[in-house]
Chain A
Amino acid sequence: QVQLQESGPGLVKPSETLSLTCNVSGYSISSGYYWGWIRQPPGKRLEWIGSLYHSGGAYYNPSLKSRVTISLDTSNNQVSLKVKSVTAADTAVYYCARKGRTGWFIDYWGQGTLVTVSS
């Protein structure tokens, strides 16, 4: 059974960098699939941030691409997210997610972690 678990600071100051890690168990990220992040600001829609394939393929939401870095650590089977220069608009529940085999939908999600941007 594939399981994804997010971790990281729940509070980040404006203008700083948000950093989250996702531990993946039950599947080796180097074996395939795209791995990435989706977020949901309070009271707003889900928003796909980006996804990465172990051999280099990538998708980033154009609205966030300039501030986002996603990386895969195959040694530790982890997926990481960095969002720089955060503002209150980046306050959201952040989900780690695996893209489905046959299309850009999500077949496995993490439980999500709330990140608040505030001074």
Chain B
Amino acid sequence: EIVLTQSPDTLSLSPGERATLSCRASHSVSSNYLAWYQQKPGQAPRLLIYGASSRATGIPDRCSGSGSGTDFSLTISRLEPEDFAVYYCQQYASSPWTFGQGTKVEIK
């Protein structure tokens, strides 16, 4: 089973700043089968990125994904108020599909 470790657990930033979230896999994630989700309190998760770097429908271009192998990242270039949330990565290269523990982006 591929274990995903996200860092940091919490990121304290101000609106307008750049956020970089990390997702490290215990084994290589083949074909860059990695997705990112955003979840706000009381809401369903929302797909942001799939295939490590492809934005889902309606996701603004200030949000981008990168990486390969075992190291992936999600970058939000300029934080807007609606970006403060919890973010999860998920691999779908090897069954069982697994998720990271999440990174909370909070307002500083």
Residue ranges of A at the interface with B (Cβ–Cβ < 8 Å): 45-48, 59, 61-63, 95, 100, 102-107, 109-112
Contact = CB atoms under 8 A, between A and B. Distances in A.
A102 B51 contact: yes
A112 B47 contact: no
Given A104-B33, A107-B56, A109-B44, A45 B50 contact: no
Interface residues of B, number: 22
B45 interface: yes
Contacts of A61: 96
Interface string B81-108: 0000000101010011111111000000
Contact of B97 (A95, A102, A104, A107): A104
B7 to A, nearest CB: 15
Given A45-B99, A46-B90, A61-B96, A107 B33 contact: no
Contacts of A109: 44-46
26 contacts: A46-B88, A46-B99, A48-B97, A48-B98, A48-B99, A59-B95, A61-B96, A62-B96, A63-B96, A95-B44, A100-B35, A100-B47, A100-B50, A102-B50, A102-B51, A103-B33, A103-B50, A103-B51, A104-B97, A105-B50, A106-B47, A106-B90, A107-B47, A110-B44, A111-B44, A112-B44
A45 B99 CA distance: 6
Given A102-B51, A103-B33, A105-B50, A48 B45 contact: no
Contact of A111 (B37, B43, B50, B88): B43
Nearest to A47: B99
A103 B92 CA distance: 7
Interface in B25-62: 33, 35, 37, 43-47, 50-51, 56
Instruction: Report the 5 A-B pairs with minimum CB-CB distance, sorted nearest first.
Output: A104-B92, A105-B35, A109-B44, A46-B99, A61-B96
A48 B47 contact: no
Interface core residue of A46, A48, A59, A105 (most chain B CB under 10 Å): A105
